[in-house]
């Protein structure tokens, strides 16, 4: 990895920028998705798709970076998480009826967003957002001018369970009527569990603490474990994408960033699908990077930002 590149002064990661716009966008079925926009768009337009359990607040630093580069940045919270409501009576369970609901939301949102201005349109997607982007493109969503996926969820890291057993357990739990219940326990007040979760996400304790700060100060955006139905849907949808002939038809330039040390998504699955994408470039970090590459310690984070900026300058000038 090259030496870190200097960027603008640090932003307050625990405050909304004064010139952004926070509102709601209505999905085709009437569901309200919380949306945020920042930037003048002199460079073009960028849509950021976050991951499972995320909320817009986690990516204010990332949004500020690209808004400062001249992009009109738009992002939203997926239905059932962040500020986009919940689908069960348990406000901390990440539940969804069917992953197709995410796809319908993304296709509709993207169609409106792509028609909303001038300049190049690019989509940057993290983890679950990366899966949704590639699946939507494989299923015929009009492509942006360029796309970037960061640690995309193209396979789940199910260890120590083999994948077949994880699939069987999830299906059994859904079949027993427990689909809307938490798939595992997350002890929010346990310092030990917080440290374990941090190491899975990022080596940066301060950026991890930012997430906890937002959760503690805005409890309506806090989320815990996924539901059993979410797990079953994730396993089914990643298998569906892995078998889809539409992967080879994704035509837009694509940069994929991943890490060998990822404990949440499968890096081998990322490599396999990247090899099938006709216009994809793949960079895989080592042990210096955990799952949230754009929220890592600065040597990794700044390197990733520079790689993305260079890629976009080349393919979406």
DSSP 140-156: TPPP-SEEEEES--SSB
Do residues 26 and 32 lie in contact, with contact meaning Cβ atoms separated by under 8 Å?
Answer: yes
Residue 98 sits at φ, ψ, to 5 deg, of -155, 140
Task: Report the alpha-carbon distance of residue 295 to residue 272 in Å, rounded.
Answer: 25
Q: What share of the chain is helix, strand, coil (3-state, %, to 5)?
A: 40, 15, 40
The pLDDT tens digits for 272-282 are: 999 999 999 99
Residue 67 sits at φ, ψ, to 5 deg, of -65, -40
Place of tokens 């998480």: 81
Do residues 146 and 254 lie in contact, with contact meaning Cβ atoms separated by under 8 Å?
Answer: yes
Task: Report the alpha-carbon distance of residue 96 to residue 131 in Å, rounded.
Answer: 15
Angle between helices 267-276 and 228-243 (to 10 degrees): 30
Q: What does the pLDDT profile of the chain (317 residues) look like in tens digits?
A: 554 444 456 789 999 999 999 999 999 999 999 999 999 999 999 999 999 999 999 999 999 999 999 999 999 999 999 999 999 999 999 999 999 999 999 999 999 999 988 899 999 999 999 999 999 999 999 999 999 999 999 999 888 889 999 999 999 999 999 999 999 887 767 888 899 999 999 999 999 999 999 999 998 999 999 999 999 999 999 999 999 999 999 999 999 999 999 999 999 999 999 999 999 999 999 999 999 999 999 999 999 999 999 999 999 99
The pLDDT tens digits for 98-145 are: 999 999 999 999 999 999 888 999 999 999 999 999 999 999 999 999
């Amino acid at each position: 990895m090259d030496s870190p590149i200097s960027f603008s002064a640090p932003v307050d990661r625990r405050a909304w920028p004064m010139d952004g716009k926070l509102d709601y966008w209505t999905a085709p079925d009437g569901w309200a998705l919380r949306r945020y926009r920042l930037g003048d768009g002199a460079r073009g337009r960028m849509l950021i798709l976050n991951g499972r359990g995320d909320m817009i607040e986690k990516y204010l630093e990332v949004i500020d970076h690209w808004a400062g580069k001249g992009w009109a940045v738009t992002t939203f919270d997926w239905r059932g998480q962040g500020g986009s409501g919940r689908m069960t009576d348990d406000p901390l369970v990440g539940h969804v009826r069917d992953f197709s609901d995410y796809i319908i939301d993304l296709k509709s949102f993207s169609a409106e967003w792509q028609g909303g201005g001038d300049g190049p349109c690019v989509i940057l997607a993290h983890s679950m957002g990366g899966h949704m982007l590639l699946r939507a493109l494989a299923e015929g969503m009009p492509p942006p001018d360029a796309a970037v996926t960061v640690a995309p969820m193209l396979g789940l890291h199910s260890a120590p369970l083999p994948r077949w057993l994880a699939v069987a357990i999830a299906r059994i739990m859904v079949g027993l009527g427990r689909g809307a219940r938490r798939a595992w326990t997350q002890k929010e007040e346990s310092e030990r569990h917080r440290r374990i979760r941090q190491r899975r996400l990022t080596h940066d304790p301060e950026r991890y603490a930012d997430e906890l700060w937002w959760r503690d100060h805005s409890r309506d955006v806090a989320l815990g474990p996924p539901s059993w139905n979410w797990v079953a849907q994730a396993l089914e949808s990643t298998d569906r994408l892995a078998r889809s002939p539409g992967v080879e038809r994704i035509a837009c330039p694509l940069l994929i960033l991943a890490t060998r040390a990822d404990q949440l998504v499968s890096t081998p699955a990322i490599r396999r699908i990247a090899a099938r994408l006709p216009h994809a470039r793949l960079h895989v970090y080592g042990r210096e990077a955990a799952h949230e590459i754009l929220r890592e310690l600065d040597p990794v984070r700044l390197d990733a930002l520079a790689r993305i900026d260079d890629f976009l300058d080349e393919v979406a000038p």
